[in-house]
Structure 1
Amino acid sequence: MPGYTDIQARYFAEQLLLKRPAASLDGLVSTISGVKVDLNPHQVNAALFALKSPLSNGALLADEVGLGKTIEAGLVLAQYWCERKRHILLIVPASLRMQWRDELASKFYIDSLILETANYNQLKKKGVNNPFSSQTQVIICSYNFASNKELDLKRIDWDLVICDEAHRLRNVYKKSNVIGNKLKSALSGKKKLLLTATPLQNNLLELYGLTSIIDDHVFGDTKTFREMYVAPGNSEIRNLQLKKRLQPICQRTLRKQVTEYIRYTNRIAICQEYQPTPQEEKLYNDITEYLKTPHLYALPVSQRSLITLVLRKLLASSSYAIAGTLDSLVNRLENLLAGKPDDLEINDLDTVDEYSEAIEEDEEENGSFTMEDYIAIEEELKKLKEFRDLALSIKTNSKGENLLTALKKGFTKSAELGGARKAVIFTESRRTQDYLFNLLSNNGYEGKIVFLNGMNNDAVSKSIYADWKQRHKGDDSISGSRQADMKAAIVEEFKNNAEILIGTEAAAEGINLQFCNLLVNYDLPWNPQRIEQRIGRCHRYGQKNDVVVLNFLNNKNAADTRVYELLNEKFKLFSGVFGSSDEVLGSIESGVDFEKRISDILQKCKTTDEINAEFNQLQNELSDQIESKMISARKSILENFDEEVSRNLKTCEENTVSSIDTRSQWLYYFLQSQSGAGVTDMDGRRFSVNGQIFNLDWRQAEANDEAFLRVEDPVIKSQLEKVINTNPVTGNLVFDYSNGSSHKIGFFTNHPGLTGTINISKLTYFGLEPEEHLIVTAIADNGEELDSDLVNKLFQLPATQMIDNSLSFDNLSSQILENAQHKKKEIEEHYREYFLKECEKLDQYSEDLKEGLQADLKALDKEIREKKKAFKANISASLDEMLKEQEDINKLEKKKKRMRRELYDKEDEIDVANDALQNEIKEKLKGESELRDVLNVSFKIE
Structure 2
Amino acid sequence: MLSRLTPYQSQYVAWQLSRRMGADSADLLASTLVDAQVDLNPHQVEAALFAFRSPLSKGVILADEVGLGKTIEAGLVIAQRWAERKRRILIITPANLRKQWHQELQDKFSLQALILESSSHRQLRKDGHKYPFEQGNRVLICSYQFAKSKADELKRVPWDLVVMDEAHRLRNVYKPSNVIGKALKEALAHAPKVLLTATPLQNSLLELYGLVSLVDERVFGDLSSFRDQFGGIGHPPTLEKLRSRLQSVCMRTLRRQVQPYISYTKRIPMVEQFTPSQDEQALRDLVAEYLRRPQLNALPSGQRQLISLVLWKLLASSSYAIGGALGTMAQRLQDSLAQQPTEELTDALDEDFETLDQIEEEIESQPDDNEEGSATQRASVADELAELRSFQQLATNILDNAKGEALLKALGKAFAELAKLGANQKALVFTESRRTQDYLLKLLEQSPYAGQTVLFNGTNTGEEAQRVYAAWLQRHAGTDRITGSRTADTRAALVEHFRDSAKIMIATEAGAEGVNLQFCSLVINYDLPWNPQRIEQRIGRCHRYGQKHDVVVVNFIDHTNPADQRVYELLAQKFQLFEGVFGASDEVLGSIGSGVDFERRIAEIYQTCRSTEDIENSFQQLQLDLSAEINAAMLKTRQLLLENFDEAVQDKLKLRQTESTSARSRYERLLMDLTEAELEGHAEFDDTGFTLEQTPPGLNAEDAPPGRYELPRRSGEAHLYRTGHPLAQALIDQARQRSLPTARLRFSYDGYRLKVSTLQALRGASGWLALSVLTVEALGTAEDHLLLAATNQAGQALHEEDAEKLLRLPAELLSDAPAAPRAPAGLQQALQAQQEQRVREVNQRNLGYFEAEVQKLDAWADDLKGGLENDVKELDREIKDVRRTASVAATLEEKLHWQKRQRELEDRRNQLRRRIFDRQDEIDAQRSELIEELDGLMSKKSGTRTVFTIQWELT
Give the drift of 1:688: 5.5
In structure 2, the residue matched to 1:570 is 574
Which of 513, 533, 543 matches 2:547?
543
Alpha carbons of 1:804 and 1:14: their partners in 2 closer, same or farther (altered >3 Å)? farther
Q: Could you report, residue by residue, the CA deviation over 1:277-297 in whole angstroms, capped at 9, with x for unpaired residues?
A: 344345545666676778888
In structure 1, the residue matched to 2:16 is 15
Q: Could you report, residue by residue, the CA deviation over 1:863-883 in whole angstroms, capped at 9, with x for unpaired residues?
A: 4344444444542463xx754
In structure 1, the residue matched to 2:51 is 50
In structure 1, the residue matched to 2:872 is 857
Unaligned stretches of 5+ in structure 1?
none
The code of the aligned residue for 2:821 comes to S
Aligned partner of residue 541 in structure 1, secondary structure: coil
In structure 2, the residue matched to 1:747 is 758
Alpha carbons of 1:906 and 1:477: their partners in 2 closer, same or farther (altered >3 Å)? farther
Counterpart-to-counterpart distance in 2, 1:752 and 1:339:
97
Counterpart-to-counterpart distance in 1, 2:373 and 2:257:
65
Q: Contact 1:522–1:551 at 8 Å: present in 2 too?
A: yes
Determine if the alignment matches structure 1 residue 257 to structure 2 residue 257. yes
Aligned residues: 936
Q: Contact 1:679–1:687 at 8 Å: present in 2 too?
A: no
The code of the aligned residue for 1:247 comes to Q
Aligned partner of residue 264 in structure 2, secondary structure: coil
In structure 1, the residue matched to 2:534 is 530
Which of 686, 697, 715 matches 2:689?
686
Q: Contact 1:337–1:374 at 8 Å: present in 2 too?
A: yes
In structure 2, the residue matched to 1:926 is 939
Alpha carbons of 1:688 and 1:343: their partners in 2 closer, same or farther (altered >3 Å)? closer
In structure 1, the residue matched to 2:839 is 824
Q: Could you report, residue by residue, the CA deviation over 1:230-289 in whole angstroms, capped at 9, with x for unpaired residues?
A: x43627665544332222122222232222222323222211122233443455456666
Counterpart-to-counterpart distance in 2, 1:820 and 1:374:
88
Q: Contact 1:25–1:48 at 8 Å: present in 2 too?
A: no
In structure 2, the residue matched to 1:806 is 821
Determine if the alignment matches structure 1 residue 886 to structure 2 residue 893. no
In structure 2, the residue matched to 1:64 is 65
In structure 2, the residue matched to 1:181 is 182
Determine if the alignment matches structure 1 residue 771 to structure 2 residue 790. no
Alpha carbons of 1:140 and 1:476: their partners in 2 closer, same or farther (altered >3 Å)? farther
Counterpart-to-counterpart distance in 2, 1:906 and 1:252:
36
Which of 640, 644, 650 matches 1:646?
650
Alpha carbons of 1:228 and 1:446: their partners in 2 closer, same or farther (altered >3 Å)? farther
Counterpart-to-counterpart distance in 2, 1:105 and 1:356:
28
Give the drift of 1:485: 8.0
Counterpart-to-counterpart distance in 2, 1:317 and 1:128:
42
Q: Contact 1:520–1:549 at 8 Å: present in 2 too?
A: yes
The code of the aligned residue for 1:62 comes to A
The code of the aligned residue for 2:441 comes to F
In structure 2, the residue matched to 1:834 is 849
The code of the aligned residue for 2:939 comes to K
Give the drift of 1:755: 5.0
Q: Could you report, residue by residue, the CA deviation over 1:349-404 in whole angstroms, capped at 9, with x for unpaired residues?
A: 44556666767999988969999999999999998777665544433221111111
TM-score normalised according to structure 1 size: 0.87
Q: Could you report, residue by residue, the CA deviation over 1:192-220 in whole angstroms, capped at 9, with x for unpaired residues?
A: 22233333343433333332232222222
User: Is 623-632 or 523-532 further displaced after alignment?
Assistant: 623-632
Alpha carbons of 1:470 and 1:191: their partners in 2 closer, same or farther (altered >3 Å)? farther
Aligned partner of residue 789 in structure 2, secondary structure: strand
1:650-665 → structure 2 map (5 Å cutoff): 650-665=654-669
1:31-430 → structure 2 map (5 Å cutoff): 31-229=32-230, 231-232=231-232, 234=234, 239-284=239-284, 309-324=309-324, 345=345, 347=349, 349-350=353-354, 390-430=394-434
Q: Contact 1:514–1:540 at 8 Å: present in 2 too?
A: yes
Counterpart-to-counterpart distance in 2, 1:918 and 1:724:
39
Aligned partner of residue 54 in structure 2, secondary structure: coil
Q: Contact 1:7–1:731 at 8 Å: present in 2 too?
A: no
Give the drift of 1:654: 1.0
Alpha carbons of 1:883 and 1:613: their partners in 2 closer, same or farther (altered >3 Å)? closer
Determine if the alignment matches structure 1 residue 904 to structure 2 residue 917. yes
Determine if the alignment matches structure 1 residue 735 to structure 2 residue 753. no
Counterpart-to-counterpart distance in 2, 1:682 and 1:477:
21
Q: Contact 1:519–1:538 at 8 Å: present in 2 too?
A: yes
Give the drift of 1:573: 0.9
Which of 521, 524, 540 matches 1:520?
524
Counterpart-to-counterpart distance in 2, 1:752 and 1:342:
89
In structure 1, the residue matched to 2:699 is none
Counterpart-to-counterpart distance in 2, 1:59 and 1:684:
41
Give the drift of 1:903: 0.5
Give the drift of 1:924: 1.1
Counterpart-to-counterpart distance in 1, 2:667 and 2:335:
74
Determine if the alignment matches structure 1 residue 725 to structure 2 residue 737. yes
Q: Contact 2:201–2:635 at 8 Å: present in 1 too?
A: no
User: Is 694-703 or 200-209 further displaced after alignment?
Assistant: 694-703
Unaligned stretches of 5+ in structure 2?
696-705
Counterpart-to-counterpart distance in 2, 1:218 and 1:628:
26
Q: Contact 2:203–2:629 at 8 Å: present in 1 too?
A: no
Give the drift of 1:832: 0.8
Determine if the alignment matches structure 1 residue 699 to structure 2 residue 706. no
The code of the aligned residue for 2:686 comes to D
Alpha carbons of 1:555 and 1:216: their partners in 2 closer, same or farther (altered >3 Å)? same
Aligned partner of residue 845 in structure 1, secondary structure: helix
Provide the identity percentage: 45
Q: Could you report, residue by residue, the CA deviation over 1:536-564 in whole angstroms, capped at 9, with x for unpaired residues?
A: 22222343433221111223444433332
In structure 1, the residue matched to 2:858 is 843
Give the drift of 1:906: 0.8
The code of the aligned residue for 2:919 comes to K
Give the drift of 1:494: 4.8
The code of the aligned residue for 1:635 comes to Q
Q: Could you report, residue by residue, the CA deviation over 1:778-818 in whole angstroms, capped at 9, with x for unpaired residues?
A: 45579986433333332222234443133542234444323
Q: Contact 1:58–1:191 at 8 Å: present in 2 too?
A: yes
Alpha carbons of 1:846 and 1:665: their partners in 2 closer, same or farther (altered >3 Å)? same
Alpha carbons of 1:627 and 1:870: their partners in 2 closer, same or farther (altered >3 Å)? closer
Q: Contact 2:746–2:811 at 8 Å: present in 1 too?
A: yes
Give the drift of 1:28: 1.7
TM-score normalised according to structure 2 size: 0.85
Alpha carbons of 1:605 and 1:85: their partners in 2 closer, same or farther (altered >3 Å)? closer
Q: Contact 1:7–1:729 at 8 Å: present in 2 too?
A: no
Give the drift of 1:42: 1.7
The code of the aligned residue for 2:908 comes to K
Aligned partner of residue 268 in structure 2, secondary structure: strand
The code of the aligned residue for 1:825 comes to R
The code of the aligned residue for 1:796 comes to R
Q: Could you report, residue by residue, the CA deviation over 1:822-859 in whole angstroms, capped at 9, with x for unpaired residues?
A: 22111111101111111122122212222322233233
The code of the aligned residue for 2:774 comes to L
